[in-house]
A and B are shown apart, each in its own frame.
Chain A
């Protein structure tokens, strides 16, 4: 039986070459696109599952409520968490480890590097099976003055990995120590949330002067992982996390008046390591979006199946009738037709897999991953077979039902072919659907691209293309030299000005707090952003002074109280501040900038600070174009600034060389590290860039597959209509009449789809744009809709036009002879 079906299926494939080629290739492209997206999604959902003890490793999470600030903590925990967990759960937890990141200066011979370095505990070697190439990791992490390097870092520093016993110097926290290389390990794969270039042991004695680092419950500075003992369920831990707080944590002194119980300010939870990546912002969102796109492309490819089978059904009506006459049941016929589509889908899968193999190198390059088809991975195999079944059944079920329902008498009696006119409109509906999806994808891709371009290139108010930020100026050895360095830099060619900053521009970082306005009877608390600046901030960031004056180094009141004063002096304090235009509005200080001068703002802290407005700055977009501008308060305070923002003119490359030469000549103990603000801004939109690129590719594939279907459908319809076309020609229709007739037949669904897709995408994209404070004007979407519709229509015309022309040119006699 099945052999018979298979034979017929194969014969049908060979006999209907056009039909087979379109089905197989269209579906192969669709399945290939699905597979590529599946590989990505599969990778995204399988982070951190390769560890031997993956199911036993958990991350401890903490959530800390703080007065005057939202809850914080999440993936980070206090340094005390590890020991507390180990003591509290001796029966349940086998081992636990912490990670804490520092950016120390590492000196290797006469070279210096600024390198991210992880401080950790020796249990790391037990919990994570890290492949050690040289030395002993556990021993290295048990020793206070040993370091483990990744293979890549060892090669960067020494040129090879035979480096055990080499000594390098690490400068951190006001102290310098020599470390001996004790282990070299293989870099971890990309699909884990933990990654580190170099590891040293957490030596709490090194942090005696920073007690908050590892000894304060309210200060989450480390990531804590723990591993369960065999046969322990995580619920044994989770159920006792509240009592853990009650038994071990007390309210910090400075919050004593806010909280009476420790459980009010801190709570713990646990997260399996394999779930961490999925909890990252945007990850599950991306998975949903890419999954939906994969499904849509698959459905578009399946529709080709349905439509071509319907078109072809006229040819097969006779076969069906004969089979019925000799006794085939409807069920048997359905099975036969579905079997055929499944066979086609299977062949398409093989072609699709070949296409994926061809596309993988570029795809991996784009994603920065090493994805492969897991031919031996049962899950991958199941997914591929499921795709085949899905495509076969979804593509074949409707024609199977139609064909099997033909009444044999009707077909065999008359000479006429059945014209399934209900099937024809159904086909049209499906074509409309295909093009709605394709056109919508094009529109979304273009709108996302336009928004990215708009946001990434918009004028931030400070000429982002000509600022470079130098790192390392907050290092102990450079702090005393800060003013000299600035003055020397300003004398260099192409350098205009330089200002010390605490936070990077264009990264979204900001420090906010609440203030009240003196004299405000309601005592309204306003949330504003604070920014510590120096006198050169204005020139460097091209800020306009709208009223009043800028800070003066010589005026004592222009400076904020120092940390020392703050701690020892009971207050109240007085100082001068500058605000931006938005702050005037938000705080209600007047209509014009000058109105704000002399107004006094109060910081409602335990120690009062009265700040008098002496100047008003224009608004600039210091953060990112992803966020709206904020009301800002500027105070003069350079203590603790870690970066120097340098305004230059001319080419960045030339300036980089000038700065680097200066640095290497004058500063030997801190490496030269710089960041161009323009690069920062571009980097902010990498997510959108990637998304719009993926959408562009997906929409091209969708359009391609839909057009293949249209081509097939047009060929079949033209064939079905040959006689009619011949007759029309006999009646006087010329070639262009016929071409118009055929092209119009398929333009209708594409035009309807254009309208529907434009409406749909307009609302979808208007909603998406809503999240951006600086967005392209909504009307911009309209020409994009037009262009996308036009593009799809042209593609459709191109697809069917050639065939229509051929058909239209055929001599009418031929058409009329075919009886």
Chain B
């Protein structure tokens, strides 16, 4: 489903060139649960952004469903992205002015779905992540764990095939972190492909495969026996 061939990303800042990723080769099949680990600044977020089509690689190939999208325009990427990919962020990134249900609905807003159908989907997904009783609350009235559940709901409400999670448990205590991981596992078991950045070895343990990054390159890949 996803195939990166010799992919690199360099940042040009004030005459200094930083290679955030260099020569990365990764292949991810549909339905996989992949964890990405590595020290701070090694390029995990950069990799995830490129996988999520929020950023273009500087070099190399990105094959998405056998289509080379590495040089696609922003608008074209946006189109593929909104059909296929959901995001979960470390800092939740909920919009403060919108209520829980409105935040979730946001993910459907740009998909040409009729209002009634949108509402129905939102209600369903809120039930699924156990936040239905907080539907009308504003984000700042929720705990961190609850906020991240909203974020998970938002990532999956559109039935996205792939979820990219950048340190989804980074801002949560262990109990709430555990909850989020359980949710991700459940999603994966339903067939959603999950790619997650984490610092926690325990949480990486939920994944079938762990990719270790160091200084922009893949160092090792461990596959856990089923």
Contact = CB atoms under 8 A, between A and B. Distances in A.
Contact of A816 (B74, B82, B93, B95): B93
B54 to A, nearest CB: 5
A728 B89 contact: no
Nearest to A414: B140
B97 A723 contact: no
Contacts, number: 52
B111 interface: yes
A737 B52 CA distance: 20
A819 B91 contact: yes
A732 B111 contact: yes
A811 B82 contact: no
Contact of A419 (B54, B89, B97): B97
Interface string A690-733: 00000000000000000000000000000000011001111111
Contact of A723 (B54, B75, B93): B93
Nearest to A419: B96
Interface string B85-120: 001010101011100000000110111000000000
A728 B75 CA distance: 14
B93 A732 contact: no
Contact of A734 (B55, B89, B95, B110): B110
A735 interface: yes
Contacts of B106: 727-728, 731
Interface string B72-83: 001100110110
A767 interface: no
Nearest to A723: B93
Given A419-B96, A731-B82, A732-B81, A737 B110 contact: yes
A587 B55 CA distance: 90
B93 A731 contact: no
Interface string B58-83: 00000000000000001100110110
B178 interface: no
A811 B55 contact: yes
Given A730-B54, A731-B106, A816 B78 contact: no
Interface string B151-165: 000100000000000
A812 B110 CA distance: 15
Nearest to B46: A813
Interface string A119-156: 00000000000000000000000000000000000000
Contacts of B140: 416
Interface string B165-207: 0000000000000000000000000000000000000000000
Nearest to A417: B96
A408 B201 CA distance: 39
A813 B96 contact: no
Contacts of B96: 416, 419
A421 interface: yes
Contacts of A421: 97
B10 interface: no
B49 interface: yes
Interface in A219-249: none
Nearest to B93: A727
By DSSP majority rule, is chain A's interface helix, strand, loop, or mixed?
helix
Contacts of A730: 52, 54, 81, 87
A818 to B, nearest CB: 11
Contacts of A732: 78, 81-82, 107, 109-111
Contacts of A416: 96, 140
B109 A816 contact: no
Residue of B81, B89, B93 with most partner-chain A CB within 10 A: B93
A421 B95 CA distance: 14
Nearest to B98: A724
Contacts of A809: 74
B178 to A, nearest CB: 24
Task: Give the size category of A's interface with B.
Answer: 20 to 34
A736 to B, nearest CB: 10
B107 A731 contact: yes
A811 B54 contact: yes
Contacts of B87: 730
Given A728-B106, A728-B110, A730-B87, A735 B75 contact: yes
Nearest to A812: B54
Contacts of A729: 78
A723 B91 CA distance: 12
Contacts of B97: 419, 421, 724
A706 B54 CA distance: 37
Residue of A421, A727, A731, A813 with most partner-chain B CB within 10 A: A731
Nearest to A813: B54
Residue of B49, B52, B78 with most partner-chain A CB within 10 A: B78
A486 B55 CA distance: 93
Nearest to B50: A813
A724 B89 CA distance: 14
B136 to A, nearest CB: 17
B93 A734 contact: no
Contacts of B74: 809, 811
Interface in A761-817: 809, 811-813, 816
Contacts of B110: 728, 731-734, 737
Contacts of B78: 729, 732, 734
Residue of B54, B87, B95 with most partner-chain A CB within 10 A: B54
Contacts of A811: 54-55, 74
A819 B97 CA distance: 18
Contacts of B89: 816
B95 A724 contact: yes
A819 B95 CA distance: 14
B49 A813 contact: yes
A811 B96 CA distance: 21
Nearest to A728: B106
Contacts of A819: 91
A336 B13 CA distance: 38
Interface string A723-757: 11001111111110100000000000000000000
A729 B54 CA distance: 9
Interface string A475-493: 0000000000000000000
B95 A727 contact: yes
A735 B74 CA distance: 10
A727 B95 CA distance: 8
Interface in A390-448: 416, 419, 421
Nearest to B105: A731
Interface of B: 49, 52, 54-55, 74-75, 78-79, 81-82, 87, 89, 91, 93, 95-97, 106-107, 109-111, 140, 154
The 8 closest A-B pairs by CB, nearest first: A732-B82, A732-B110, A813-B54, A733-B110, A731-B107, A724-B95, A813-B49, A813-B55
Interface of A: 416, 419, 421, 723-724, 727-735, 737, 809, 811-813, 816, 819
14 contacts: A416-B96, A724-B95, A724-B97, A730-B52, A730-B54, A730-B87, A731-B107, A732-B81, A732-B82, A732-B110, A732-B111, A734-B75, A811-B74, A816-B89
Given A731-B107, A734-B78, A816-B54, 10 more contacts: A416-B140, A724-B95, A728-B110, A731-B109, A732-B81, A735-B75, A811-B54, A813-B49, A813-B54, A813-B55
